[in-house]
Amino acid sequence: MTRGTTSKHLPFAGFFFVASIARAVLLSILPLKALTLLGSAQNVSVLFFVVSVCGIGISLGVYSALRHISLYAGFLVSLLVMTVSVLLLSGDDLSGFSIGMVLHIFGITSMEVILNLYVMQQIPRNQLSEFEPWRMVAMVVALSIGPWLGVYLQSTYADWLPFAVAIAGSLVTLIYFRGLGLHHLEIRKTPAGSNLMRNIRRFLEQPRLRLAWVLTLARSGWWQLFIIYTPIYAVHSGLGELWGSAIVSIGSAWTLTVPFWGWVARRYSLRFLMRTGFLMTSLVTTAVFIFAGSPTIAVTLLILAALGATMLDGSGHVLFLRAVRPSERTEMAGVYQTYRDAANLAVPGIFAVLLKFFSLPVVFAGGAVWMMAAAVTSKHIPKRM
């Protein structure tokens, strides 16, 4: 991407900061609030698992909905659902909180599907590998500020304040979206004969799409572990809620280095970057498990492990975006996006079982295992990438 092209697309990349901050302020608050309502890490895992089961079909269903409504209408619906979910999550009723979590997943997932379609339409294919690191920076700068800010506002000022910030963030997202003129764009309509099972089958028939999904699932699963269980670990180890949220923010702040990792991928290959990132994250997360009895050492290692995961963020969604055929972008984007649902489902599901028999540090051992498996799997990334 030339300097002029970069400047042209930077406002679009910046939009992802605004879109992410609305949910970032709640990242650490939600698992901590669930812990308060339910009393144990295992019960929190069960709740997140059940909520994910309810939301597992959302990504697949978004595409079907987009055949009947405009892309802009889908964006508005996602934003509205996010706002309603925040209102429910701000209450102290477990039922309302659980419904709010389901709606929250719906809003986040459908929004990502729709925004990925905008990216594929706005950014030329040969510029994706340079645009994606900037998009990831914009997103995770928000995710690095939000977790600490949300808990700080709640603990220092008022319980409702971070939820109000989240709603305000949704409003600013809409204003920025319209300011970019994205509401004038539309995606290609697909023939009515296209259906969900056919899209899934078509996705599974393409090895490069399967590989992109599996590796993105592993990366997303580790971040899911980090976001949910780091604040809980901080509370259990005596560090406190504010420290837990600060660790999440500091770990996420490594994403400021994403443009550098994007350059590494272009200089040495995407396969080299991803294998290194998976391997580093696995080894350091293993060390977190070993030193879990020493909170100061463990949280330092967690922050270092987040650096390894950030190396993976340097790839963005390039594996998928380079592999998908232009004529199938909409259909395949809906299937690909289920990696988030699968991570939301698998991570708390696995740990709901393990935490019944083992103490909290087992989550770090589990995360290390699947990241090592991903390091091995990444050898299938084409060498030319």
What CATH number does residue 177 fall under? 1.20.1250.20
102 is a domain residue: yes
Residue 333: CA count within 13 A, CB half-sphere: 26
196 is a domain residue: yes
Angle at 334 between CA 330 and CA 337, to 5 degrees: 130
Domain that holds residue 287: 3-380
Residue in the structure block whose two tokens are 């990504």: 59
Q: How far is CA 245 from the centre of its chain?
A: 17
Q: What is the pLDDT along the chain (385 residues), one digit of tens a residue?
A: 444 444 566 777 788 888 888 888 888 888 889 888 988 888 888 888 887 777 666 655 665 666 677 778 888 888 999 999 999 999 888 889 989 988 888 888 788 778 877 777 777 666 766 677 777 778 877 877 888 888 889 888 988 999 999 999 889 989 988 887 776 666 554 444 456 678 888 888 888 889 989 999 999 999 989 988 998 999 888 888 888 888 988 888 887 787 788 788 878 888 888 999 999 999 999 999 999 999 999 999 999 999 999 888 777 677 887 778 877 776 787 788 778 778 878 888 888 889 888 899 999 999 999 999 999 998 888 777 6
Angle at 140 between CA 138 and CA 228, to 5 degrees: 160
Per-residue pLDDT, 205: 87
Return d(Cα 178, Cα 19) in angstroms, integer: 13
329 is a domain residue: yes
362 is a domain residue: yes
DSSP state of 190: P
21 CB contacts (<8 Å, ≥6 apart)? 142, 145, 146, 169
The burial of 231, by beta-carbon neighbours within 10 Å (0-12 exposed, 13-18 middle, 19 or more buried), is given as buried
357 is a domain residue: yes
Per-residue pLDDT, 305: 94
Per-residue pLDDT, 116: 76
The tally of domains found in the chain comes to: 1
385 is a domain residue: no
47 is a domain residue: yes
353 is a domain residue: yes
DSSP characters over 234-295: HHHTTS-HHHHHHHHHHHHHGGGGHHHHHHHHHHH-HHHHHHHHHHHHHHHHHHHHHTTTSH
Q: What is the pTM of this model?
A: 0.73
Return d(Cα 290, Cα 270) in angstroms, integer: 30
